[in-house]
Amino acid sequence: MDFNLSDEQNALKDSLAKFIDRDYTFDHRWKIIKSAAGWSRSHWNQLAEIGLMALPVAEADGGLGGNGVDTMLVMEELGRGLVVEPYLGCVVLPAALIKASGSEAQRAALSEGLASGETLYAFAHSEPGQRYERNAVATTAAANGAGYVLSGKKVSVLGGDAADQLLVSATVTGDAAPSLFVVPATATGVRRLAYPMQDAQRGADIELSNVEVGADALLGERGKAAAAIEYALDVACAALCAEAVGAMAELHKITVEYLKTRKQFGRPIGMNQALQHRAVDMLMHVEMSRSMAMEAAVACDNPDPSARAKAVSAAKTLVSQGCRYVGQNAVQLHGGIGVTHELNTSHYFKRLTMISVTFGDADWHLGRYGDTLLAAA
C-alpha cells in the first residue's frame, strides 16, 4: 500500500492547517463556543471555500469525489484545532447516507446544497434506550395516502440544532427494516431541543409528532436503509478516529512543551525520567492510533461490508483506548491546572472522551470485531 499523499491531498491539508493556525486559535474558539449559536457560520463558509463540503460528494453529483483518506486528512486537522463547526454531523454523515441510499436523481438534488455548504443536513437516528444498536429503530412511519406520517423521538443528533433538513430513520408499519426520510427541520410537528454537549459540540433532541411528508421524502427504497445506515456510521467512525488522532497529537505536543517549561526545584519537570516515559507512552498511543485510523479510512472505500466493519471496529477500539490514555495522562502531567476550563488541555480531554463513546465505545466495537471474526470462521 502506498502511504504517500498526492499533491492535491498535501495542498488540501496545508490549506486547512493554515486556516486552523490563523483563524481558529484557542481564543477564537473560546469566543465561538460562548456565542448563542455555539458555532460560526463565517468559519463554516470559509471551510466551504476550501472545498471541505464538496469533498465527500461524488463528482457526478457536483462534488470533488474525495475518498476515505481525504476525509481522514480533513478530520485530523479539525481535531487538531478542536473545530466545533458540525462537519461530521452535517457533512460526513449525510454525504455517506445520500451516496449509499439515494437514487441518481435524489443524489443530484440533495448534494447541490450539501456541496456548497448552503444546506445543512443532520442524521436523526439515535433513540432513547437504543444504545449503539444501529437498526433498532422505534420511530414509525405510517403510510398515509401518497405520503407518510412520522412519529417518534431522536436524541443526541449531531448538528441537529443547525440543520435545515433532517435525514430521519423510521420503520414503516409492516416492514422489518428501517427506511430513510428527508424531513425539513421546520416541518409542522417537528420539535427541536438544542443544547451544547460536554465537549462544546452541539446537538439536539428531536420529537416527531405526526409529521406529514410526501412520497418523495423517502430516500432510496422503502425498508432497505439498513445497509446505508451501517455504511454511513462506519464512515463516521473512521472520521472520528482521524479526528482523535489530530487531537491526541496536539495534546501530546502541548504536554511535552509544558514538561519542558514548568520548573520545580529550579529545573524543568521534564527532566524527570518517569515523566519522560509517560510522554513516550502517550506518543506510542498516538502513532498506533494513526496507523489504525489510516486502515479504517482505506476500508471505507472497500465494497465488502464485512471487511469494512472489521477494520473500522478494530480502529475504533484501539483509538478509544488511546483517547483515554493520552487524555488522562495529559491532565495528570499538567497537574491541577489540567482540568481548568481556561486551559486548552481540558478541552482536548473532553473532546477525546466524547469521541471514544460516540457511535460505539471500545467494548461495543471490540464485540463487533469479534462477531466479524466468528462470521468469517
The Cβ of residue 182 has, within 10 Å, a number of other Cβ atoms equal to: 22
pLDDT for 304: 95
Domains and CATH numbers, the chain: 7-119 (1.10.540.10), 122-219 (2.40.110.10), 226-376 (1.20.140.10)
Model confidence at 339: pLDDT above 80: yes
Instruction: Kindly give, in sequence order, each residue whose CB lies less than 8 Å from that of residue 34, ignoring residues fewer than 6 positions away.
Output: none
Q: Report how far residue 230's alpha carbon sits from residue 339's, in angstroms, rounded to the nearest whole number.
A: 36
Main-chain dihedrals φ then ψ at residue 163, nearest 5 degrees? -65, 140
pLDDT for 289: 97
Q: Beta strand 267-268 with 263-264: parallel, antiparallel or unpaired? A: antiparallel
Stretch 216-229: mean pLDDT? 96
Model confidence at 270: pLDDT above 90: no
The residues facing 181 across adjacent strands are 168, 218
pLDDT for 78: 97
The Cβ of residue 53 has, within 10 Å, a number of other Cβ atoms equal to: 27
Please, what's the b/e burial string for 61-92 (b: 16 or more CB within 10 A of its CB; e: otherwise)?
bbbbebebbbbbbbbbbbbbbbbbbbbbbbbb
Stretch 110-121: mean pLDDT? 96
Q: Report how far residue 224's alpha carbon sits from residue 228's, in angstroms, rounded to the nearest whole number.
A: 8
Report how far Cα 41 is from the mean position of its chain's Cα atoms: 19
Model confidence at 1: pLDDT above 80: no
Q: Report how far residue 62's alpha carbon sits from residue 116's, in angstroms, rounded to the nearest whole number.
A: 9
Q: Report how far residue 310's alpha carbon sits from residue 370's, in angstroms, rounded to the nearest whole number.
A: 8
pLDDT for 210: 96
pLDDT tens column, 226-239: 999 999 999 999 99
pLDDT tens column, 134-164: 988 999 999 988 899 999 999 999 999 999 9
pLDDT above 70 as % of the chain:
99
- Give which of 169, 94, 166 is closest to 139, Cα–Cα: 169
Stretch 247-274: mean pLDDT? 93
Per-residue pLDDT band at 2 (split at 50, 70, 90): low
Stretch 42-48: mean pLDDT? 96
pLDDT for 266: 86
Which of the residue ranges 264-278, 313-327, 339-353 would you say has the lowest mean pLDDT?
A: 264-278
Main-chain dihedrals φ then ψ at residue 225, nearest 5 degrees? -95, -5
pLDDT tens column, 165-197: 999 999 999 999 999 999 999 999 999 999 999
pLDDT for 374: 92
The mean pLDDT value of the chain amounts to 95
